[in-house]
Structure 1
Amino acid sequence: MKPVPAADRVLLDHMRQCIDRILEYTGGERAIFFRSRLVQDAVIRNLHTLSESAQRLSDALKASEPGIPWRKIGGMRSILVHGYLDSIDTETVWVVIERDLPTLVDAIERMIRRFDSGAST
Structure 2
Amino acid sequence: MKDRGHIAYIEDIIESIDKILRYLDTVNGLDDFLKNEMVIDAVTRNYEIIGEAVNQVPKAVKEKYPQLPWKQMYGLRNFAIHEYHLIDPVILWEIAEDHLVDNKIQLENLLDQERGT
Provide TM-score, normalisation by structure 2: 0.86
C-alpha contact 2:20 2:42 (8 A) present in aligned 1: yes
Opposite residue 112 of structure 1, the aligned amino acid is: L
Supply the distance in 1 between the matched residues of 2:19 and 2:59 (Cα, whole angstroms): 26
C-alpha contact 2:54 2:74 (8 A) present in aligned 1: yes
In the TM superposition, 1:71-110 aligns within 5 A as 71-85=71-85, 87-110=86-109
Supply the distance in 1 between the matched residues of 2:63 and 2:77 (Cα, whole angstroms): 20
2:100 partner SS: helix
Pairwise CA distance, 1:69? 2.2
Identity between Structure 1 and Structure 2 (%): 25
Pairwise CA distance, 1:27? 0.8
Aligned residues: 113
1:100/1:63 Cα in 2 relative to 1: closer, same or farther (>3 Å)?
same
1:67 partner SS: coil
Opposite residue 109 of structure 2, the aligned amino acid is: R
1:45/1:6 Cα in 2 relative to 1: closer, same or farther (>3 Å)?
closer
Supply the distance in 2 between the matched residues of 1:60 and 1:103 (Cα, whole angstroms): 22
Confirm or deny that 1:18 pairs with 2:13. Answer: no
C-alpha contact 2:24 2:33 (8 A) present in aligned 1: yes
Name segments (4+ residues, structure 1) moved above 2 Å.
Answer: 28-35
1:44 partner SS: helix
Specify the alignment match of 2:5 in structure 1. 7
Q: What whole-Å deviation, never above 9, does each CA across 1:63-108 have from its counterpart, x for those lacking one?
A: 22212221121111110001234x2111111111111212210111
Specify the alignment match of 1:44 in structure 2. 44
| Superposed CA RMSD | 1.9
2:42 partner SS: helix
Pairwise CA distance, 1:114? 0.9
Provide TM-score, normalisation by structure 1: 0.83
Specify the alignment match of 1:65 in structure 2. 65
2:66 partner SS: coil
